[in-house]
Amino acid sequence: MNSGSQRLVFAVIAGIGLVCAIIMGLVPASLSPLALVLAVVALVATLVAYATKDYFFLFDSMLHMKNMTAVIDGNDPFYMAPSGDAIVVRRGEEVYATAFVKVPIYSSSTEMADEDRYNFSLLFARMISISKTPMRVSSQLHPINKDDYIARINAKLNESEVRYNTLQGDKTADPKALDRVKGEVTMWRNMLDNVSRSNSQELEVYASITAIGGSEEEAINLVAIKADEIAAGISATLGITATIVTGDEMLVFIEPDYMIPPTTISEVMKYKGMQTT
């Protein structure tokens, strides 16, 4: 808060109240309505002046309100490239195309010794320097859509229950086989309960690269070449398989709000696809 501005506002408002009080004392009795108005103004000015002590930020906002401009852009912030491997933004005469490269990580630094952790950090330093074109390397946690996984567990559970019921109804069944299948049923049930009850998250590490072109085709082709080079460099440096993100999966890195619930991603992509066609 600017204390000088605060004192200035206090002095101006208090001065208005003082002037109104002085004029009120000079007004003749025949103009009593005017004196009443001046008295009310003086009282309000006095209250407002002392209110600036604790609520100056409100007055400061109102004084600078004329300098605040809200710009609303009706254009889409981005649209999907026809190839499905980049997002495109048009700004005036230039077109910006951005591609994303997913970097799978199979180990955690918490499981490493100090020397291994240092070597692991050097790999990422080398990864950042593989391209002369600036790129962004980032990571984020997001919820996993477990519908398919839960469906597979349910299928295994149903299969085990059918085998258990069949063996249970067979008087010649081996008791050990019956106990083994019963153990499978219990295992799948426990797994289903644990997966359904917990909120699973996945760590995504990715690199993004942007290319500028005079046309949409030029920008998309340039960013595709750069993305291929970066994916190959990351794969060789870290000893993993880096892949270029395509389709609705790109929304995970662009608009994280669409990840909750995860199924919204496909619906949004369908909607944006219908708008661009």
pLDDT digits (tens, 9 = 90+) for 8-44: 766 777 777 777 777 777 767 666 777 777 777 777 7
**Domains held by the chain: number:** 3
| In a domain? residue 74 | no
Domain boundary among 22, 38, 67: 67
Residue 132, domain member (yes or no): yes
Shared domain check, 237 and 267: yes
Q: What is the pLDDT along the chain (277 residues), one digit of tens a residue?
A: 456 666 676 677 777 777 777 777 776 766 677 777 777 777 777 777 666 666 665 656 665 555 555 555 555 677 888 888 999 988 888 999 999 998 887 666 666 777 777 777 777 777 777 777 788 888 877 666 677 778 888 888 899 899 888 888 887 878 888 888 888 888 888 888 877 776 666 777 888 999 999 899 999 999 999 999 989 888 887 778 889 998 878 877 776 555 554 444 444 444 445 445 4
| pLDDT on residue 1 | 46
Together in a domain, 204 and 265: yes
DSSP string, the chain: --HHHHHHHHHHHHHHHHHHHHHHHHS-GGGHHHHHHHHHHHHHHHHHHHHHHHHHHHHHHHHTGGG-------S-S-EE-TTSS-EEEEETTEEEEEEEEEE-----GGGS-HHHHHHHHHHHHHHHTT-SS-EEEEEEEEE---HHHHHHHHHHHHHHHHHHHHHHT-TTS-HHHHHHHHHHHHHHHHHHHHHHHS--EEEEEEEEEEEEESSHHHHHHHHHHHHHHHHHHHHHHHTS--EE--GGGGHHHH-GGGGSSTTHHHHHHHHHHHHH-
Whether 141 and 213 map to the same domain: the answer is yes
- pLDDT number for residue 69: 57
Whether residue 58 lies inside any domain: the answer is: yes
Residue 127 and residue 205 in one domain = yes
Question: Looking at residue 64, what is its pLDDT?
Answer: 59
pTM above threshold 0.75: no
269 and 161 inside one domain = no
Are residues 52 and 172 both part of a single domain? no
What domain range includes position 95? 80-146+200-276
In a domain, 75, yes or no: no
Evaluate whether residue 162 is within a structural domain: yes
Would you say residue 172 lies in a domain?
Answer: yes
Do 211 and 268 lie in a common domain? yes
**What per-residue confidence (pLDDT) applies to 55?**
61
On whether both 141 and 156 belong to a single domain, the answer is: no
Does residue 72 lie in a domain region?
Answer: no
73 lies in some domain: no
231 and 269 fall within a common domain: yes
Give the end of a domain, one of 132, 165, 197. 197
